[in-house]
């Protein structure tokens, strides 16, 4: 049974991804700051902050003991805070960078160590269309995801020798808690900038992740795939 | 706290496993003086990265200690702690004690 690690599985896209891969026959190791919101024979939950280095290392060691290794990692956990730059406190900047950048890096580092015995391991990071669209009000969120994209491209090169591919998917807005506070007018203006003008759905993300995870995708790495026709 | 002989045994075992994985014939017989990394040494940079990750993991499992070998001290050291089994043993002992 293949093992997939998914961060941020308590709700939203992360929970849907966990349910999807459990149904597809994977062993899923998930995490969130709180307790698990799903139960399944093949689901193991770790309550942690993704930017807590010691906790991530401990999770990796536990996964190694329980499952031997890891075949795929989906770095889904992320936070946003829509605000004008003039009104954004440093504490918010630090919080977003810690979760989105440090958390993504720590999981890449620790899970890649556990992927070294796998013949075709996969890492999928999560970015956003807010970065290529230079979305006003999302300066720090978009900047954090720009860092994730850079991390993705460089890790693709560093981990290529270990047969680990590293790619990213950049969803458009999807009806989740992440965009709950965004005004409708803002959302409509954002959708107008997409080639395909509709809200994203979880199935769109699953489709892109599935593409990266396919065995046939072992020659695809360092790529960022934006949904909705955003370039 | 492990003694130096125990740490050296862990290093030798890790190097042996790595030599098998990477098919490094130059790492046949191992002892404290065996050169690992540097000019004309058998490990390339990727093999060294793998060895360090393996050793950190083994130290955690066998000695219940969490160490970082490729830290700022190692990067700025005049003599690399990764050049031989002996220097690597010393670097591990230093970090477990710290």
Q: How does residue A41 score in pLDDT terms, banded at 50, 70 and 90? A: very high
Q: Which of the residues of A are catalytic?
A: 141
**Chain A closest-CA separation from residue B67 CA (Å):** 11
When mean pLDDT is compared across A143-157, B11-25, B66-80, the lowest value belongs to B66-80
Task: Tell me, yes or no, whether A150 lies in a domain.
Answer: yes
The larger pLDDT score, comparing residue A50 to residue B78, is at: A50
Q: What's the burial of B12, exposed, middle or buried (CB within 10 Å: 0-12/13-18/19+)?
A: middle
Contact B88, B36 (CB under 8 A): yes
Average pLDDT over residues A179-186: 81
Cα–Cα distance, A216 to A211 (Å, whole number)? 9
pLDDT cut 70: percent of chain A above it: 100
Query: Which CATH fold would you assign to the domain B4-97?
Result: 1.10.1200
Average pLDDT over residues B17-39: 93
pLDDT of residue B98: 84
Task: Tell me, yes or no, whether A231 lies in a domain.
Answer: no
Name every chain A residue with its beta carbon within 8 A of the beta carbon of B61: 61
For A95-111, what is each residue's pLDDT tens digit?
A: 999 999 999 999 999 99
ipTM surpassing 0.90: no
pLDDT of residue B19: 95
pLDDT of residue A175: 84
**Chain B closest-CA separation from residue A76 CA (Å):** 25
- Give the nearest partner residue to B53 out of A54, A113, A161, using CB atoms: A113
A61: contact with B, CB 8 A cutoff: yes
pLDDT cut 90: percent of chain B above it: 83
Residue A10, domain CATH: 3.40.50.720
Q: For residue A164, what are its two tokens? A: 């680990």
Query: Residue A198 pLDDT > 80, yes or no?
Result: yes
Q: Among residues A215, A139, A212, which one has the least CA distance to residue A170?
A: A212
Rg, chain A, Cα only: 17
Return the domain boundaries, chain B.
4-97
Task: Tell me, yes or no, whether A39 lies in a domain.
Answer: yes
When mean pLDDT is compared across A173-177, A207-211, B44-48, the lowest value belongs to A173-177
Which residue range(s) make up the domain with A122?
3-226
Average pLDDT over residues B73-90: 92
Query: Residue B28 pLDDT > 90, yes or no?
Result: no
Cα–Cα distance, A104 to A125 (Å, whole number)? 7
Q: For residue B14, what are its two tokens? A: 């890790």
- Give the nearest partner residue to B46 out of A54, A61, A161, using CB atoms: A161
Average pLDDT over residues A181-197: 89
Average pLDDT over residues A13-20: 97
Cα–Cα distance, A128 to A79 (Å, whole number)? 11
Mutate to test the interface with B, among A54, A110, A116, A117 (most CBs of B within 10 A): A116
Name every chain B residue with its beta carbon within 8 A of the beta carbon of A159: none
pLDDT of residue A176: 80
Average pLDDT over residues A192-211: 96
pLDDT of residue A100: 98
**Chain A closest-CA separation from residue B60 CA (Å):** 9
Task: Tell me, yes or no, whether A120 lies in a domain.
Answer: yes
Average per-residue pLDDT in chain B? 94
Could A116 and B53 be called an inter-chain contact, meaning their C-beta atoms sit closer than 8 Å?
A: yes
Query: Residue A178 pLDDT > 80, yes or no?
Result: no
For chain A, what is the domain count? Answer: 1
Q: How does residue A40 score in pLDDT terms, banded at 50, 70 and 90? A: very high
């Amino acid at each position: 049974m293949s093992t997939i690690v998914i961060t941020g599985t308590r709700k939203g896209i992360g929970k849907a991804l966990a349910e999807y891969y459990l149904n597809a026959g994977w062993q899923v190791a998930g995490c969130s700051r709180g307790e698990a919101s799903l139960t399944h024979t093949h689901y193991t939950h770790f309550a942690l902050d993704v930017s807590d280095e010691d906790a991530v290392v401990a999770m990796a060691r536990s996964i190694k003991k329980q499952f031997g290794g890891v075949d795929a990692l989906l770095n889904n956990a992320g936070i946003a805070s829509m605000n004008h730059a003039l009104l954004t406190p440093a504490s918010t900047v630090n919080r977003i960078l810690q979760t989105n950048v440090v958390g993504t890096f720590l999981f890449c580092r620790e899970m890649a160590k556990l992927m070294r015995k796998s013949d075709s391991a996969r890492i999928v990071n999560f970015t956003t269309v807010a970065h290529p669209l230079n979305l006003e009000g999302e300066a720090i969120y978009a900047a954090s995801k720009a860092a994730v994209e850079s991390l993705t491209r460089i890790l693709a090169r560093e981990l290529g020798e270990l047969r680990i591919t590293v790619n990213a998917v950049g969803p458009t807005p999807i009806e989740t808690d992440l965009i709950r506070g965004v005004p409708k007018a803002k959302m409509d203006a954002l959708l107008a900038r997409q080639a395909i003008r509709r809200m994203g759905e979880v199935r769109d993300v699953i489709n892109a992740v599935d593409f990266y995870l396919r065995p046939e995708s072992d020659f695809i790495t360092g790529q960022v795939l934006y949904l909705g026709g955003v370039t | 706290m492990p003694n130096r002989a125990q740490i050296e045994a862990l290093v030798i075992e890790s190097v042996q496993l790595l030599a098998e994985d990477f098919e490094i014939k130059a790492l046949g017989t191992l002892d404290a003086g065996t050169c690992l990394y540097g000019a004309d040494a058998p490990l390339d940079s990727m093999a060294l990265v793998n060895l360090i990750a393996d050793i950190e993991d083994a130290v955690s499992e066998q000695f219940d200690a969490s160490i970082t070998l490729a830290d700022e001290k190692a990067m700025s050291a005049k003599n690399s702690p990764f050049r031989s089994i002996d220097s690597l043993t010393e670097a591990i002992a230093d970090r477990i004690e710290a």
